[in-house]
Amino acid sequence: MIPDSDNPREACGVFGVFGPGEDVARLTFYGLYALQHRGQESAGIATNDGSGNFTLRTGMGLVSQVFDEEDLAFLRGDIAIGHTRYSTAGGSLACNAQPIVVNDRETGDEIALAHNGNLTNAAVLREDLEAQGVEFQSNADSEIIAHLLARAPGATWEERFHYVMRRCEGAYSLVIMTKDHLFGVRDPLGVRPLCIGRMGNGWVIASESCALEHLGVAMEREVRPGEVIQVDADGLRHFSPVAPAPVHAACTFEYIYFARPDSRLSGRLLYPVREEMGAQLAREHGVDGDIVIGVPDSATPAAIGYARAAGIPYREGFVKNRYVGRTFIQPDQRIREAGVSLKFNVLSDVVRGKRVIVVDDSIVRGTTTPRVIGLLRRAGATEVHMRITAPPIVSPCFFGVDMATKSELIAANKSVEEIGEHIGADSLGYLSLDGLVAAIGQPENELCNACFTGKYPSNVQPHMDQIDLRRQREPALAAAESLNRAGRP
């Protein structure tokens, strides 16, 4: 495979629209297009024509590869939900593409669901549902939530969501479509983002505010942790089916890396937040240099902030090939050795003879950063100083981010000095947790920093062995799926 970046893998993107008289499939397509950065493995849209007839289209690949005009003409209705996926729980398999559609046990009506996050007690819930006779069509934990809702007791939706949310542990931001309703649901910890916007006589729910702005939809607010948004012909109502969590745990990496810089989290535009991360990094780890460059695109605002605070010129040092994505075409040896240079090309005239300060957002396994530094040295940089806007990642994530196992995390096994030697940098500096929290501007007890501290917002210990075992199995499942798609035995 062509090497991917060493950044944490994206979460997923969810989008929903209740829009009588609107082309909801086209709106969802463009909403997913704006959320493409959150997942590039599969995409899907489900629509409801108002009489309970659901239409579903899913496929592997980018949003623009999965859908065409014929698909959008086929996907008719007044309600739609969509999903763009990077696999965390469940491998990169066609059967795991979302939305997922199941049948309500009581009424027989269909329920469609799209999920961003990860359940920490998925194995226990799945075993329980299988014992009740549920036959799963995928190995994704998202299907577990769908079946729980389809089988939930209760005379009202509030009672049914109380049952589901009381049983689910971990992270989940959901959009759900029934015959008459669009729902948006956020877990009580508030790990993954979710927001709502008003569109004429309809409503839109999306992972990020940037997806609303692309459609000219004004953002009303973020969905609160533990809240359910219900939209139907009578308008919008909201309720909280379970008791408030004692703490909230918004994922810090949404601020550092995942969300687009033109999105808003907790009321703040992310671009200046990331600039402040760079500025804090300059205050904590200043070094003499001639230019500051960022690893595009996610670290660019932080590099600008670092340069401004340090009084050192910011320059574009890399050109990024934005069309290098996942591919099933195996590279030959020369391309394999080129590695990261397929994704980045150095502006050699900019860095030659310079002491270069490179700002990036994270080092996970330590596989890509040495190649980035090697490119700069071959281009003539005399010194390369790495500065990272996240603290060292020492623990894996169990809430919807693929961040490797503990044995694979370089900071869990090496000191900062040893990592600096491993990547070949003249110096290495990580932003402190205090500096990161200050830049974000949220209380530390409102954030999940477990990947930096090992202190999780809920008890994941009982489920860690099952999660690690599932992660070990998924590469083999994904490889088998890719061979099947290629038509080989």
pLDDT tens-digit readout, 101-112 = 999 998 899 999
Q: Which of 12, 168, 251, 448 is catalytic?
A: 12
pTM: 0.89
* 13-246: in CATH 3.100.10.20: no
Radius of gyration of the chain (CA): 23
* Cβ atoms of residues 93 and 139 within 8 Å: yes
* Cβ atoms of residues 68 and 43 within 8 Å: no
- Count the residues in the chain: 489
Within the chain, all domains assigned CATH 3.60.20.10 are found at: 13-246
Residue 337, Cβ density class (10 Å: 0-12 exposed, 13-18 middle, ≥19 buried): exposed
pLDDT at 325: 53
Residue 428 has φ and ψ, to the nearest 5°, of -140, 130
Nearest to 171 by CA among 477, 475, 409, 456: 456
Range in 29-38, 330-339, 406-415 with the lowest mean pLDDT: 330-339
12 is an active site residue: yes
Percent of residues, the chain, with pLDDT higher than 90: 74
Is 335 a residue whose pLDDT tops 70?
Answer: no
- Tell me the DSSP string of 358-369: EEES--SSSSSH
The CATH code that applies to domain 269-445 is 3.40.50.2020
CA distances from 197 to 12, 31, 163, 194, 348 (A): 19, 12, 27, 11, 45
pLDDT at 2: 34
At 465, is the pLDDT very low, low, confident or very high (cuts 50, 70, 90)? low
Average pLDDT, the chain: 88
Residue 251 has φ and ψ, to the nearest 5°, of -65, 120
Range in 25-39, 318-332, 351-365 with the lowest mean pLDDT: 318-332
Q: How many CA atoms lie within 13 A of 15 on its CB side?
A: 37
Estimate to the nearest angstrom the gap between the alpha carbon of 32 and the chain centroid. 13
pLDDT at 50: 78
* Cβ atoms of residues 452 and 394 within 8 Å: yes
Determine the average pLDDT of the residues in 78-92.
Answer: 75
Query: Looking up tokens 């030697």, which residue turns up?
Result: 421
Determine the average pLDDT of the residues in 97-120.
Answer: 93
Is 272 a residue whose pLDDT tops 70?
Answer: yes
pLDDT at 260: 95
Q: Residue 292: what residue type?
A: V
Is 233 a residue whose pLDDT tops 60?
Answer: yes
Q: How far apart are CA 373 and CA 369, in angstroms?
A: 6
Beta strands 383-388 and 355-360: pairing type? parallel
Is 466 a residue whose pLDDT tops 80?
Answer: no
Q: Give the start-end residues of each E strand in 67-141.
A: 79-85, 100-103, 110-119
Beta-carbon contacts of 466 under 8 Å, excluding residues fewer than 6 positions away, are 122, 123
Q: Residue 223: what residue type?
A: V
Within the chain, all domains assigned CATH 3.40.50.2020 are found at: 269-445
